[in-house]
Homo-oligomer: A and B are copies of this chain.
Amino acid sequence: MSTDRPADDSHLREEPVSSEELLRGHFLVARRDRVRLPDASLAVREYVCHPGAVVVVAELDDGRFVLERQWRYPLGRAFTEFPAGKLDAGEDPWRCAQRELREETGYSARLWAYAGPVHLAIAYSTEVIHLFFARELRLGERRLDPGEFLDVFPASLEDMLQWVREGQVTDAKTLFCLLWAQNVRAGIWSLDWRQAG
């Protein structure tokens, strides 16, 4: 075991040799690549191609967050989540974050901050989720997509953390949002706020 985080990853690198489309569904797109491993042997890598997404930690004036309850068919149950959505083709993450929050919850925010990218399922997906914070919310009209059903409700940081601890909140993106929210709320991490564009 080395004593420091490696600075150079070249001895771990996998190089693409060839690539084919494995699946083009209505939603899922997947590829299969042949790759050359660090010892020059060959292997196969299969992965989902994802356009990227945003998730929004939106804080009400009383300090509570805007949460959603939504059915997630692959798991056969509903989950408590921060508002999130996929990028449209070529869409800027800042615009997408403002759009998704407004469409799904009805809220517009005057102040926004970008915390950074998170990679959701690095073993088999290209998905990056851009994490935003939003403040100074104003409630307007929801505009759900056809076939979209979800509840919107407020919850405190303390309640959310308690629900994680008790196993009632188990969505990975919601948990990494709470890591950020907890450290921002404690004043340990800071954000660079700017006005909505």
Q: Are the CB atoms of A78 and B149 closer together than 8 Å?
A: no
Q: Are the CB atoms of A74 and B28 closer together than 8 Å?
A: no
In the complex, how many residues of chain A place their beta carbon closer than 8 angstroms to a beta carbon of chain B? 87
Please judge, given known A-B contacts A28-B124, A179-B164, whether A118 and B46 are in contact too, CB under 8 Å: no
Contact indicator per residue, chain A 63-86, by CB within 8 Å of chain B (1) or not (0)? 000110111111101111100000
Closest B residue to A72 by CB, please name it. B122
Q: Are the CB atoms of A70 and B124 closer together than 8 Å?
A: no
Q: Chain A: interface secondary structure?
A: mixed
Contacts of A77 in B (CB 8 A): 9
Max chain B C-beta neighbours (<10 A), residue from A5, A22, A128: A5
Count this chain's copies in the assembly. 2
Q: Are the CB atoms of B170 and A119 closer together than 8 Å?
A: yes
**Once the chains are docked, how many angstroms separate the CA of A123 from the CA of B165?**
22
Closest B residue to A162 by CB, please name it. B189
Q: Are the CB atoms of A47 and B33 closer together than 8 Å?
A: no
A residues whose Cβ falls under 8 Å from a Cβ of B = 1-6, 9, 11-14, 22-23, 25-28, 30, 32-33, 35, 37-39, 41, 43-48, 66-67, 69-75, 77-81, 105-106, 116-129, 139, 147, 149-155, 159, 161, 164-165, 167, 170-173, 175-176, 178-179, 182-183, 188-189
